[in-house]
Every structure is written in C-alpha cells, then in structure tokens.
Chains A and B, each alone.
Chain A
Amino acid sequence: MFYRENGQYKTSYAADQQMLPILQDRVLMAGVIVFAFAVVPFLASDYLFLSLLIPFLILALAAIGLNLLVGYCGQISIGHAAFMAVGAYAAYNLALRIPQLNFLVVLVLAGLIAAAVGMLFGIPSLRIKGLYLAVATLAAQFFMDWLFARVKWFTDYSSSGSVSTAPVEMFGWKIDTPTEKYVFLLAVLIVFTLVAKNLVRSHIGRAWMAMRDMDVAAEVIGIRPVYAKLSAFAVSSFYVGVAGALWGFMHLGAWEPLAFNLTLSLNLLFMIIIGGMGSLLGSYFGAAFIVVLPILLNQFPAMLGIPLSTAMVSHLELMIFGILIVFFLIVEPHGLARLWAIGKEKLRLWPFPH
C-alpha cells in the first residue's frame, strides 16, 4: 500500500538512472543513514561498538571489495585476507616511517599498495578460472602470511613479530573512543559504498559482469579480459586493503600475521555468499550475519539460562554455525539480498496479493 512506485514518472535520463529510483527507497535509505549517524551513537554500549558494530563496518567494507571481484567479475578468491594484511602492514609502515602523513592519505596509499599486490596475484586469472583460480589465490594467502612473519622490516624489527599502532589522529581529531571510531568508519563505509555502486553501474562494472556471465562471449564483443579481470582484482584489493588497514588501526590496535589468516578469508567468502553475490546490500547483510552469529550462538545458552559447559557451548556454536550455513545455502542460494528483494516485491502488492 505504501510501497508503490505508481505516479513517480521519470522525465529525464538522470532521474531514470539514479541509484534509488523509487521515492520510498530514498526515504528509507536516508532514514537508515540518519539513524546510524545520529541515533546509534547515543544508544549503543561500548561492548556493542567494539565487538559488533566496528567489526561489522570494517568487514562490510572488505565484503564489498570481495564481492566486486567474486560477485561482479566472477573470479573466486579464497585468499583475500592476504590483501587485508597487505593493507594493514602498508598502513603501519607508512604511518611509522612518515609520521606527518594524514591518516586518510595513509589509507589511500595502503589501498593502492594492496591493489598492486592484488593485480600481481590476479595474473593467474588470465589463464585459469573457477575453482582452480580459487585454490591458486590460496598461494597469496600463505605467501603473505609468511612474508609478514619473516621479513623483519615489515614489523619494524619487533622482537615478537607483532606490531602495534598509535591512536589515529587527523586534522587535530584524535579518534580513540568507540563512538568516534564508529562514526569515522561509518563515513568511510558510506563513501566507499557510493563509489562501488557507481563503479558497477558504469562501463567498467558492466565489463566485469560480462566477464562473469560468459568470458568468451565477452571477449568476442570486444571486452579485453586482461583489462577487465585485472581491474577487478585491483579495485577489489584496494577496498580490501583499506579495510585491512582499518582493521589493524581501528579494531585490533596490535596484531600479528595470524590475524589475517585463512579463517578470515573464508569468513569474507561466507559473507558474500550468505549475503548475496553481486549485491552491495548483500555484503552488508552477510557481514552482519557472520559477525553477529558466532557471538550470538556463544551467548545464547547463557541468556536462556541453560547451564552448559564452556566447551559444550563452543562445540554447539561450531555445529549450529555449520548447519545454518548449509541451511541458508539450500533455502536461499542467492543470499539474504535476494530475500530482501522478495520481501520488497511482496510489500509492493501488500495488502492485496492478487
């Protein structure tokens, strides 16, 4: 009843091509953003910020990055945590060695370095594809894990191989309370989402999708695979690299190479598959799901007052997590984003379904 596009005529190309063509969507989106900026900071507790919201925002950014590669360009990567690590270590070294750099510059440079490394490891995609490529990206994962653990320069000759960062400061603003971090990350995420949204609607995004849907056909109609695939790797790694730098500086504060291990890579992949491949909104859903679910499962028995041993709870967490993954894949293989779309469709017809 309320969610109708009736009467909303488009009179210009610009209006026809805008990101959210339906007025209700625009209102909803504006509402969400206002809520996130103006209301959440006053409501949420420190625990909520530090354990759920901040990881969620950063991982959503990483998930968008991975989604650009896997969901839009069709190149599977199981090694994306490696590019997060590149971003994190690049940012650490930039901030350490050139202390006068603004943090935003550090972020962008870290992203660019990650993009370069990502392109390097994207080269195999020109020869191989599908699951073969997926396993090949594992090479990036293990090599980077090793590199940062072994080359002392990257960790500033720290005796334990672990690095720690100073609190982030820019334009005289010291970002150290959870609320400040949240606001900063939210702003970064929104900017990057906007960029991503426009990228996938543009020439380059369409080239990626053509590559994904059928690479040979795309080549026939004049899309150069080298350009399309490597640009996808570069942009994706840029996003993930920035996310990695934020993960290190804003979330962990101190980390070791293990912080960016295979588990994180797999979690990123879970996010985009559960959330929905080829959907930016899905990346958000997926990140929320994967961040919240394990923590929730872990606390659930205690909240219900079921006395279970810690070990039992953790085992149950693993089992239920596994079952839920399979369950979601079976029930809705296109992810939560698809569910959202179905819900919207239903809403359009409501309350008269026929």
Chain B
Amino acid sequence: MRQAAKTRLLATAAGVVLAAAAVTASAPAFSQAKEQFFPVLSYRTGAYAPNGVPFANGYVDYLKLVNARDGGINGVKITFEECETGYATDRGVECYERLKGKGPTGATLFHPLSTGITFAVTDKSFNDKIPIVTAGYGRADSVDGTVFGWNFPLGGTYWDAADIVVQYVGKKEGGLDKLKGKKIALVYHDSPYGKEPIALLQERAKMHGYELLLLPVTHPGVEQKATWLQIRQQRPDYVFLWGWGVMNSTSIKEAVATGYPREKMYGVWWSGAEPDVTPAGDGAKGYNALVFLAPAGQGAVHKDMLKYVYDKGQGTGKKEEIGDVLYNRGLTAALMSVEAVKRAQVKYGKKPLKGEEVRWGLENLAIDQGAIKKLGFEGFMTPISTSCVDHAGGRSATMHIWDGKKWNVQPGVYEADQQIIKPMIRASAEKYAAEKKIAKRDCAKEQ
C-alpha cells in the first residue's frame, strides 16, 4: 500500500511538471498590437540585490511614466516583462532567449546589467539583430560600432571611467606628472567587470610612472581582510575601488578597520550609491566616487513620476527611494532607450519597431542640453550624441563625495582622453573581429 501511494504521489508530481512543461513549450501567440516590448533583465535577489533593486525600479518606473504621462512613445504603448538573472551569466542568457521574441516585434533592446551577461549575449546579438545597451558597463572595446554592430556602451565605458579617475587624482596632485613614483591600488571585483579597467590603468601607469597594485576580491566580496592588510603593508597613495554590491560597503568597512583614509579612496560609478556607503555608517565620510550621468537628487522628471505613477499607487519601489543614485541611473537608462525608439520612429514611422530598426535610433541619438531640459532631466544627464562608428556617444563624468548623510557633487566635468583610449579600442576590437571572424561594417555606406 505504502509503495503504491508513493508511486501515485510521484506520478502526480511528474504529471504536473510535464503539463507545465507543455504550457511553457507552446508560447502563446501575440496579437499584432500597437505595442513596443521592452525586456527587463534585473536582479532582485541574491548577493547583488541591494544594488539591483533600485536600478530596476528606476528603469521600470520610467517605462510606466512614459505610458501614463505620454500614452506611450508617440502612441505606441510600452509593454515590458522582467526576468530575474540573479547576476548569473547562465540565467541571464536564458532570460535573453526567453524575452527576445516577445511582443509584436520582438525585444526592443536589452540592458544585460552585468558585464558577464554582456559578454555572453554579445555573440548572440549578431544573429538576433537586437541591440545590447550597456550604459556605463560592458566591454570597453564595444564602442567601436564597425565591429560590435549591436553593442551600445552609451555614455562611457570602464576605460573612460578609469581614465577620468586618474585625471582627477592627477589634478589633485597638481598635474599628471606628479603621479610619478606614486602607488595606486586597484581593489576590484574578480570578474570581467572588475578586470576591465586594468588595461587602461596599466597604459596610464606606463605614461605617468605610477606603480599599480592589483588586488582582486572574490565574488561576492565579503572576505577582504587580506586585501586590506596588503594595503596597510604597501601603503598606496590612492585606492581605486571597482566593486559591486556588498563588496563596496565591505571595502569601506575594512578601510575603516585598517585606518586607510577614505578621502584617498575613489570608486567607479558602480561603487558610489547609497547602499555602498550607508552600511559603513559614519566611517564612509569623505569617500569619493564617480558620477555617471545621473547623481542623486530630484528634478522635474521625479515630480512627474510622483504625480503620474506613485500617487496612483503604480510605483515599483518605495517613494522614499526615488532620487537615489541607482534609481536615477535606472531612469536615465530607460530614458536613453525610449529616446532611441523615438529617434528610430522618425525614420521608420510611428509603429512598433524591430530591434534592427531601433539600432538605427541608437546610432543616431542626439540628446543635447535643450532636449535634456525638455525631458525633465536637467542636472541628471550629460549630452549624448552617437554615430555608427561611435556607439558610446559621450564619455564624461563628475566626482561626488559622501558627507555621511548625502552625496555632494564636486564641480567640474571630466572627459576621458580619447588619444589614449581610441588606439586601445581599435586594437582590442580588431582582435575580437579576427577571433570571431566578423566582417566589419562599412559605416560610410550605411548612413
């Protein structure tokens, strides 16, 4: 009897699984609605959730806002679906495959939100003809649109970021030549993300004669005692922090514990949000980090957000978190995506667009100061202007400092030095094209 009951139980379980599998397999047919589908890869669980959640909230909220305030993009309603990647590459790839065909015209564009996932889906983009937008992350060499036809590191890459930090530090010292003989430690997340800036920092080290110390921190980054002991031993003049998630706050805590001055720590733009500094309490005071496009704070767009989305109970996150650094970055990421669709509609008409058509929009983005103001993003964005060759469209950033309560943006906008970066991009992109046997695009012909 027991055996039989057991078998029945298991058979039922297996049946349920099979039935569900059948439902999954037969994807529902989509009606030809006037809808533009935005896939959203996010991570709201796991080690990186504290940083993933505000970004995803900002991104989704802006899509909601465009629907609620403007009735979509020129009458084309935005639909979206979130898929949880957990910052894991294999799950991210699955999400990409799951979402790429949804909506009447397929996925508009993807924000993979992880450098690892970016590397994996870059390959697929050539076949699928869907743009991969990596605003402020991803491969540095993907700026080159002739090789990386579908990647858009809008607003700058890690090479730009590293370059700007070196410039900033050089200026503080009173000139880049003063960096000679100095010691700079890079504390980085041990993944493609964290390793990306190394090439540029080494290049700069050759030019200015500073010594570069490489200190990798293993995922997820809560074990940093040995790293900071080494920093205490080597006493570098500056520490650059290239962390993500809980690694950032741990670094700052360990800096407190080993007595390294926070004023000499410079974080990349992914190491400079509220969840990175608040766990360290007062200890984080004086810590510097780059600002990528959007600093913390509220502007016209946030007023709209409260009015059209949150006051109607449609908000994704908590009201108090509107205006946080990562929330705002999610907003700008969504803004650039929506603007690209808008731009492409000029050429292809006000209808749902394919990924391939959206690419044209991404390659012809021109968001100047006037447009930024009109969109309600004044003070939260720098102008962006892309082309077929240049997929970044902008490469400037500012610095902000945590005062224990809030981020204070420092005066001065810094631009990455293209004289150094351009040849590096060219060399790296050529190597990739050769390895993958990619035929380069001829941008002159396509325009």
Q: Which A residues lie at the B interface, using CB under 8 A?
A: 44-48, 50-51, 55, 96, 149, 159-162, 164, 166-167, 176, 252-256, 258-259, 263, 292-293, 295-296, 298-300, 302-303, 309-311, 313-315, 318, 327, 331-332, 339, 342-343, 346
Contacts and interface: CB of A to CB of B under 8 A. Distances in A.
Given A255-B89, A255-B120, A166 B10 contact: no
Contacts of B230: none
A254 B125 CA distance: 13
Interface of B: 3, 6-7, 9-11, 13-14, 17, 20-21, 23-25, 27, 42, 44-45, 49, 53, 56, 81-84, 86, 88-90, 93-94, 97-98, 101, 115-116, 119-120, 122-124, 127, 139-140, 190-192, 195-196, 198-199, 216, 219, 428, 432, 435-437
Contacts of A331: 6, 9-10
A332 B6 contact: yes
Contacts of A343: 7, 11
A50 B98 CA distance: 9
Nearest to B216: A149
Contact of B24 (A256, A299, A309, A339): A299
A7 B9 CA distance: 34
A116 to B, nearest CB: 27
A310 B42 contact: yes
Contact of B437 (A167, A258, A259): A167
Contact of B44 (A47, A176, A252, A314): A314
B7 A339 contact: yes
A331 B45 CA distance: 30
Contacts of B195: 159-161
Given A164-B123, A292-B21, A314-B45, A159 B435 contact: no
A160 B27 contact: no
Contacts of B116: 162, 256, 258-259
A296 B119 contact: no
A11 B401 CA distance: 86
Residue from B13, B89, B124, B198 whose CB has the most chain A CB atoms within 10 Å: B89
A164 B24 contact: no
13 contacts: A44-B25, A45-B25, A51-B98, A159-B195, A159-B198, A254-B123, A292-B17, A293-B17, A295-B24, A310-B83, A310-B84, A332-B10, A339-B10
**Which secondary structure characterizes the binding site on chain A?**
helix
Given A160-B192, A314-B84, 18 more contacts: A45-B27, A47-B27, A51-B97, A160-B139, A160-B195, A162-B116, A166-B435, A253-B120, A253-B123, A255-B120, A295-B98, A296-B17, A296-B20, A296-B21, A303-B23, A310-B84, A342-B3, A346-B7
A309 B82 CA distance: 9
A63 to B, nearest CB: 16
Contact of A254 (B88, B120, B140, B190): B120
Nearest to B438: A166
Contacts of B14: 339
Contacts of A314: 44-45, 84, 86
Contacts of B44: 309-311, 314
A331 B88 CA distance: 31
A295 B123 contact: no
Nearest to A313: B84
Contacts of B3: 342
B192 A164 contact: no
A164 B42 contact: no
B16 to A, nearest CB: 10
Q: Which 10 A-B pairs have CB atoms at the shortest separation, nearest pair first?
A: A311-B44, A160-B192, A253-B123, A159-B199, A310-B82, A314-B84, A314-B45, A162-B192, A254-B119, A51-B97
Contacts of A313: 84
A158 to B, nearest CB: 9
Contacts of B21: 292, 296
A168 B7 CA distance: 44
Given A159-B199, A293-B17, A318-B45, A47 B97 contact: yes
A44 B116 CA distance: 28
Contacts of B98: 47, 51, 295, 299
Contact of A162 (B6, B17, B119, B140): B119
Nearest to A253: B123
Given A253-B124, A313-B84, A258 B219 contact: yes
Contacts of A161: 191-192, 195
B37 to A, nearest CB: 14
A149 to B, nearest CB: 6
Nearest to A311: B44
A342 to B, nearest CB: 6
A190 B163 CA distance: 52
Contacts of B120: 252-255
A332 B101 CA distance: 39
A149 B116 CA distance: 13
A300 B22 CA distance: 12
Contacts of B115: 160
A310 B316 CA distance: 11
Residue from A44, A166, A315 whose CB has the most chain B CB atoms within 10 Å: A166
Contacts of A298: 83-84
Contacts of B432: 164
B436 A166 contact: yes
A44 B90 CA distance: 20
Contacts of B216: 149
Nearest to B6: A331
A342 B7 contact: yes
B42 to A, nearest CB: 6
B198 to A, nearest CB: 6
Nearest to B56: A310
